[in-house]
Amino acid sequence: MAEPAAQASTQARLQQGPSGGSASSGPNTGSGSGSSDPARPGLSQQQWASQKKAQVRAFPRAKKLEKLGVFSACKANDSCKCNGWKNPHPPTATRMELQQQTANLSEACRSCGHALAEHVSHLENVSEEEINRLLGMVVDVENLFMSVHKEEDTDTKQVYFYLTEVLVKLHSAPTGAFTASSSKSIGINIELQCSLPSATGVHSSGEKRKLPEALTLEDAKRIRVMGDIPMELVNEVMMTITDPAAMLGPETSLLSANAARDETARLEERRGIIEFHVIGNSLSQKSNKKILMWLVGLQNVFSHQLPRMPKEYITRLVFDPKHKTLALIKDGRVIGGICFRMFPTQGFTEIVFCAVTSNEQVKGYGTHLMNHLKEYHIKHGILYFLTYADEYAIGYFKKQGFSKDIKVPKSRYLGYIKDYEGATLMECELNPRIPYTELSHIIKRQKEIIKKLIERKQSQIRKVYPGLTCFKEGVRQIPVESIPGIRETGWKPSAKEKNKELKDPDLLYNILKNLLAQIKTHPDAWPFMEPVKKSEAPDYYEIIRFPIDLKTMTERLKNRYYVTKKLFIADLQRVITNCREYNPPDSEYCKCANTLEKFFYFKLKESGLIDK
């Protein structure tokens, strides 16, 4: 029950029944499953479930583990696929006798042959309270199972299946009975009795209608995006990166060189080395000696780290009842903190002081401190920070998500926050959906997932392409998409680059063919029609490393070498460059090259291949 795999298979178990014969203890509900159970006159399903839960909670520890073992996958070894312990001796006794029988943790499973203890090894150190909570879930599953199998009405049965899907996704067990004693409970009853039937197409007995044909279960699923990664692959990768044998995380090894800034602070907090407390002075309650000592420590930290700020001013704000401070405590003493004042009516908080003592800096405490402050404000419904940062603090606040772009209207903070000369006003907008204290860990995990997915994709591409030869022929650069096999890896050009290139290769071929024909018919193209003969210029190929001519370009065009306009323009420019490199500037050849260059650039602009 405690494992995700066991929870995910709950709906399938409703159709097959719990392993080991536990289903025999469920209720016997009839059609419509009203308030009374026909098999137990005077008892509603809820009353029966409460009684049943009380019975199983009174079981001995071994008997409880036996009942949970039915829903627990075998952990004897990785090769065992058994998803629940099955009693080798199916019960034939009455229910009361069955409850009194003792359980034996060494009893072998009828399916896999492993002992019951191998199925419930993960529950050895679980508290009795948690065991009882899981047993309550088992009773609910058995109740649903029997309700599905005894129900004859197809619409009501569909409600049970819908309930199962909802229960599998819940993060906590469902609550008990709802009375009509408050407006809140009335609203919940309306949700249970009206919203649920309307979602499944059932309205009331005698008034039933089918779901509209346009609305199907497929419509409720998440829309798949082209190129989206299957969830099965993502789950498999997740299993890899969370397996200590496959990847050592920060908990089992030294911190890596590229660990997040706040990784050290996060680990120290988990181990109890550092603590975070929101404290403040109070005039209405009796002073707490420890809090007063911490406030004095904060005043000293701020005074040492902010020498340009008057000490009396720091003291006044730290001990001001309107201000609060998030204190960072290590070994019982204050090593840092953030002093702030909340303005709930204005929807923002002003950060007044922020500092960590010098000998504890560069350990990620500042980042973790700010992340705790963000989560504190999300709980209180304030999603904007404002602060005046001096030239030395701007870099820190930028790393924490602050910006000089102020979205809070000036009318909301003008006259509320303190203005500092020579400082810059900065703002941070909080996202209530982000767990800031775990953000860097989540981003690291996402990067690991992406890296593994890329490795999987690369392992599937086994074709080896020959090396590129265009660079030997003088081409200095080529488009990424022209590299053989690059598209098969999943690479896609950006929208900006995609718009620059012609999408139709046949259209590009016809444009280049027409353009090359016009260049060849130009009066000044005669020196470049064919390759230079060695008999006419013996040292030509010693000086010109990458020769090119219009005849060679024609052959390349026929062979579909020019997959992009850049390749074609590069060869045209190479014709002109070679001529200027070999011949004197005032020669007839160079004059022809200059004239032809102007002509083909004019034609390139005319055909839309380059910007005008």
Which residues participate in catalysis according to the annotation? 350
* Token pair listed for 137: 């879930």
* Token pair listed for 262: 């706040």
Indicate if the alpha-carbon torsion angle 551, 557, 563, 569 is positive or negative.
positive
Q: Are strands 333-343 and 324-330 parallel, antiparallel or unpaired?
A: antiparallel
In our burial notation (b when 16+ CB lie closer than 10 A, e otherwise), range 303-328 reads: bebbeebeeeebbebbbeeebbbbbb
Residues in Cβ contact with 14 at an 8 Å cutoff, skipping those fewer than 6 apart: 141, 144, 145, 148, 160, 161, 164
Q: Supply φ then ψ for residue 567, to 5 degrees.
A: -65, -40
Q: Is 114 exposed, middle or buried (0-12, 13-18, 19+ CB in 10 A)?
A: middle
Give dist(CA 424, CA 311) in Å, integer. 22
* Token pair listed for 254: 């030294």
The SS3 of residue 164 is: helix
Tell me which residue of 90, 141, 80 sits closest to 113, measured CA to CA: 80
Give dist(CA 23, CA 18) in Å, integer. 6
CA distance readout (Å), 558 to 87, 212, 479, 603: 76, 58, 20, 20
Residues across the chain: 612
Give dist(CA 553, CA 411) in Å, integer. 68
Give dist(CA 148, CA 142) in Å, integer. 10
CA distance readout (Å), 52 to 25, 26, 55, 58, 137: 9, 9, 5, 10, 11
Tell me which residue of 481, 265, 508, 515 sits closest to 368, measured CA to CA: 265
Listing DSSP states for 274-329 in one string gives EEEEEE---SSSPPPHHHHHHHHHHHHHHHHH-TTS-HHHHHHHHT-TT-EEEEEE
Residues in Cβ contact with 547 at an 8 Å cutoff, skipping those fewer than 6 apart: 531, 532, 540, 541, 578
Indicate if the alpha-carbon torsion angle 296, 297, 298, 301 is positive or negative.
positive
8 Å CB contact between 386 and 408? yes
